[in-house]
Amino acid sequence: MKLISQILAQLPGRFAAELGIAVKAGPAERQKWFLAAILYGARISGKLAARTYQVFAARDIYTPEAVLEQGWDNLVVLLDAGGYARYDFKTATKLLKVMASLKEEYQGSLERLHEVAADGPDLERRLQALAPGIGPATVNIFLRELRGVWPKATPPLSPLAQLAGEHLHLLPPGLSPGEALTALKAHWRRQSAPPHDFADLEAALVRLGRDHCRRPSGPPCPLGAYCGRG
């Protein structure tokens, strides 16, 4: 089995799909992923972020209107219910500001935000400008899963994906994030693995980088046979 197929056989693809979100299915699904990406963007475990998203999803709270309707106090309760207690106050404030800005500036539509962005970098700037705390990491989490869905979703390769790519000999060390993205896409063109797409590969490498490459003393790596670390 080719390496990329092996990666995708061993590791899940998109984080959105793991949450039951189909980002290709339409604007509502992408709005759900936006909320989830904000939760993933804090310094908190992926499991807690996913659990907190499910608390919101179970109550259909993901649109700007639904989030704003909750108010700060109720948002804190929801965040705490998901285990987000360490960042509950800060995140409640951020969610209110983000959703208010999205309504005021883009009629509550992420699709509108994408439409008016001039290009990829402008799209990233507009997302970050929605509220303090929406930084490059959160924007990268959100946009990397929209590669091939939104034409202007072209963020640089995640540092975690780049680290995993280096350990697996898919990428040479020392590349810029842009160069690493180009090199990884070249591998994908040679070894594509339908029904997965490139965003699934990047997400799988992010998982590998997060759980294994930057934790040498952690659990056994499912791709250890291909790893060049050390």
Mean pLDDT, rounded, for 194-223 = 88
In this structure, is residue 75 part of a structural domain? Answer: yes
In this structure, is residue 31 part of a structural domain? Answer: yes
pLDDT tens digits, residue range 41-73?
988 888 999 999 999 999 999 999 999 999 999
Q: Which residues contact 163 (CB under 8 A, 6 or more apart)?
A: 209, 213, 214
pLDDT tens digits, residue range 162-174?
999 999 999 999 9
Q: Which residues contact 48 (CB under 8 A, 6 or more apart)?
A: 82, 83, 84
Tell whether 180 and 136 lie within a shared domain: no
Does position 230 have pLDDT exceeding 50, yes or no?
no
In this structure, is residue 215 part of a structural domain? Answer: yes
In this structure, is residue 108 part of a structural domain? Answer: yes
In this structure, is residue 150 part of a structural domain? Answer: no
* The pLDDT value given to residue 50: 95
* The pLDDT value given to residue 228: 62
In this structure, is residue 152 part of a structural domain? Answer: no
Using CA atoms, how far residue 49 sits from 37, 41, 44, 230, in Å, is 9, 9, 7, 32
In this structure, is residue 32 part of a structural domain? Answer: yes
CB contact at 8 A, 123 and 152: yes
pLDDT tens digits, residue range 96-141?
999 999 999 999 999 999 999 999 999 999 999 999 989 999 999 9
Q: How many C-beta neighbours within 10 Å does residue 10 have? A: 13
pLDDT tens digits, residue range 1-20?
689 999 999 999 999 999 99
Tell whether 117 and 178 lie within a shared domain: no
* The pLDDT value given to residue 216: 65
| Residue 218 lies in domain | 3-12+157-226
Tell whether 189 and 137 lie within a shared domain: no
Burial 92-104 (b: 16+ CB within 10 A, else e): bbbbbebbbbbbe
Q: What is the CA radius of gyration of the chain?
A: 18
Total domains in the fold of the chain:
2
Tell whether 42 and 137 lie within a shared domain: yes
Tell whether 60 and 137 lie within a shared domain: yes
% residues pLDDT > 70 (the chain): 97
Tell whether 139 and 206 lie within a shared domain: no
Burial 57-84 (b: 16+ CB within 10 A, else e): beeebbbbeebbebeeeebbebbebbbb
